Amino acid sequence: MMNRHILKNIKVIAFDCDGVMFDTINTNKVYYNFILKNFNMPEMTKEQLAYVHMHTAHESICHLFKTSTITKEALLYCKGLDYSKFFKYMEIEPFLKPLLKKLQGRYKTAIATNRTDTMVPILIEHNIAEYFDIVITAMDVKHPKPAPDPLIKILDHFKIKPENLIYIGDSKLDEAAALSAGVVFAAYRNHPLKADFHITSLREFKEIFDL
C-alpha cells in the first residue's frame, strides 16, 4: 500500500486509456486484423497484439507492415478508417465513471495516452468527456510514451510538481514514462511493474483517497 504522506501531495489524477479506462485488447485485435485483412496480410501473432496494444497507431502499422512495401498505403488506409465501427468491442472499466464523479471538485483529472484522434470520440461515445480537465494524446507531444512528454505536459498545464501527480497505467511504457517524469505511479493489473503501489480495480481508489 502506498505511503499515506505521498497521497497528501496529490492534486491531479491521470489515466492511461487502453487497459485502464477500457479493456481494449479485443478492440485492438479486431481493428488491426481488419486492416491486415484488407492488405491480404495474416492476422497478428500474440507478440504483435501485445505491441499494438501499447503503441501509437503509426508505430503499430509500421511494426505490422515492416517487411512490406505498402506501409505508406497502410498508414493512409488506417488514417481514413472510421474507428467508430469498433466502439462496440470496447469494455469500459465498471468503476471508472463512479470514480470520476467522486473525483469532481476534489482533484483535477487528465488522460495521457498513446492513442491519437480516436481518444476524444471514445470519451464522447461513453459520455465521460466532461470529467477530464485535459486529454493528452500522441498528437499533442513530440515524443509519446515511453517518453515522459505526455506527463510533463500535464505537469506544465496545471503548474504542479511531479509529486502532485499520480498516473495510473498498465504497461512498461507507462512505467517508463512515470519514472522519467518523476510522478507517482499506480500499476493497474500488472504486478511486475515497478510502481508506488498496485491496484486491480479502479474501485480501490475510493478507499485509497477516502472518497
The CATH number given to whatever domain includes residue 200 is: 3.40.50.1000
pLDDT recorded at residue 208: 83
Domain assignment of residue 131, given as a range = 4-23+92-208
Residues 66 and 124 in one domain: no
* Same domain for 164 and 101: yes
Would you write out the chain's pLDDT as a tens digit for each of its 211 residues? 446 678 889 999 999 999 999 999 999 999 999 999 999 999 999 999 999 998 999 999 999 998 778 999 999 999 999 999 999 999 999 999 999 999 999 999 999 999 999 999 999 999 999 999 999 999 999 999 999 999 999 999 999 999 999 999 999 999 999 999 999 999 999 999 999 989 999 999 888 888 7
Handedness of CA 159, 162, 168, 174 (dihedral sign): positive
Same domain, residue pair 98 and 81? no
Whether residues 78 and 128 share a domain: the answer is no
Longest Cα–Cα distance in the chain: 55
Say what the pLDDT of residue 3 is: 60
- Domain closes at, from 88, 104, 120: 88
Q: Which of 71, 88, 105 is the last residue of a domain?
A: 88
Same domain for 12 and 109, yes or no, is yes
Residues 15, 115 within the same domain: yes
184 and 103 in a single domain? The answer is: yes
Q: Quick one: 154 and 203 in the same domain?
A: yes
Same domain, 99 and 150: yes
Q: Report yes or no on whether pTM surpasses 0.75.
A: yes
* Cβ atoms within 10 Å of 130's Cβ, excluding its own: 9
Same domain, 49 and 19: no
| Separation between Cα atoms, residue 203 and residue 182, nearest integer Å | 25
CB atoms within 10 A of CB 33: 17
**Number of structural domains found in the chain:** 2
Give kind and range of the element (H or E) at residue 99: helix 96-103
Domain-terminating residue out of 61, 88, 115? 88
| Residues 15 and 107 placed together within one structural domain of the fold | yes
Residue among 133, 130, 135 nearest 119 (CA):
135
Q: Are residues 154 and 204 in the same domain?
A: yes
